[in-house]
């Protein structure tokens, strides 16, 4: 199971709560590093996810199938809310979301597949890593300086915070972009991540016409992409250009189409 995921989710949420307690009304209105979202909109996004986790809405076929547009819609629904209303929703729903994710670590339901619209299918226990990734990424990349507008500092993230986020990203990598990303990989490619969250995996081409990429542990290819895991969280979500943060060894033409296309949500 991924108990590291729930621990990381709780830790990053506690850090976010600490930052929230230090903010004033003007800072909530500053543009975040997430294009089109103010700082308060980032928290509205996390609050919306938490509310849907604890009180799932009925299926609605009219909602956007693209996950990023879906998130924009939920944020837009809250743009008329006061700061206090957004924060109240986040404070009310987030603890319940964390408790549900912790309960999802227990058998028999922990391994049950769960479809996350627009993102793929994951074992239920891995949904904790989804939250660990979301809070970590939005807080450190979109809200806080140097990329975000807020002048607060946090301790350097250790492996316990970074690894669960990276684990979710690698689980989502074969699924989120489907054939679009699959088409960019025709030979095995190693992704070598160092520092906190370090891991090394090989991305294998699909073996059938309608198949997906496979992410396997270890280094089993001559073409390799080297990056820190912290930088991976930024460039693999297209927050930063991969060329500024990656070093390719071997055949660059094998890696470049994949890196140009990758966009983990």
Q: pLDDT by residue (tens digit) across 40-75?
A: 999 999 999 999 999 998 888 888 989 999 999 999
**Bridge partners for 247 per DSSP:** 226
The fraction of the chain above a pLDDT of 70, given in percent, is: 99
* Confidence grade of residue 2 (pLDDT, cut at 50, 70, 90): low
Tally the C-alpha atoms within 13 A of residue 70's C-alpha that lie toward its C-beta.
17
* Confidence grade of residue 6 (pLDDT, cut at 50, 70, 90): very high
**Bridge partners for 204 per DSSP:** 214
In the predicted model, is pLDDT for residue 1 greater than 60? no
Please give the sequence-ordered ranges of beta strands (E in DSSP) within 7-152, or none if there are none: 113-116, 120-123
In the predicted model, is pLDDT for residue 13 greater than 90? yes
DSSP state of 117: T
Distance CA 182, CA 230 (A): 24
- pLDDT recorded at residue 59: 85
pTM, entire model:
0.95
| pLDDT, average across residues 66-91 | 96
| pLDDT, average across residues 87-94 | 98
CA nearest 141: which of 25, 27, 5, 35? Answer: 35
Summarised one tens digit per residue, pLDDT across range 204-235 is 999 998 899 999 999 999 999 999 999 999 99
**Bridge partners for 144 per DSSP:** 150
């Amino acid at each position: 199971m991924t108990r590291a995921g729930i621990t990381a989710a709780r830790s990053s949420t506690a850090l976010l709560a600490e930052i929230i307690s230090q903010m004033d009304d003007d800072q909530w209105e500053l543009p975040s590093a997430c294009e089109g979202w103010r700082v308060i909109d980032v928290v509205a996004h996390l609050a919306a996810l938490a509310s849907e986790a604890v009180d799932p809405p009925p299926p609605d076929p009219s909602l956007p199938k693209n996950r990023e547009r879906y998130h924009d819609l939920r944020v837009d629904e809250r743009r008329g809310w006061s700061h206090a209303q957004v924060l109240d929703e986040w404070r009310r729903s987030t603890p319940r979301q964390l408790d549900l994710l912790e309960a999802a670590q227990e058998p028999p339901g922990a391994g049950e597949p769960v479809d996350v619209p627009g993102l793929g299918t994951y074992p239920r226990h891995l949904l904790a890593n989804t939250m660990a990734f979301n809070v970590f990424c939005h807080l450190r990349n979109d809200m806080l300086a140097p990329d975000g507008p807020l002048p607060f500092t946090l301790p350097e993230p250790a492996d316990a915070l970074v690894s669960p986020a990276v684990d979710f990203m690698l689980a989502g990598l074969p699924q989120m972009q489907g054939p679009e990303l699959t088409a960019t990989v025709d030979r095995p490619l190693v992704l070598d991540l160092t520092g906190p969250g370090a891991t090394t995996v090989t991305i294998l081409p699909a073996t059938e016409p309608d198949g997906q990429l496979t992410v396997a542990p270890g280094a089993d290819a001559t073409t390799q992409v080297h990056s820190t895991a912290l930088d991976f969280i930024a460039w693999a979500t297209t927050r930063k250009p991969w060329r500024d943060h990656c070093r390719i060894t071997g055949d660059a033409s094998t890696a470049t189409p994949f890196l140009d296309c990758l966009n983990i949500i």
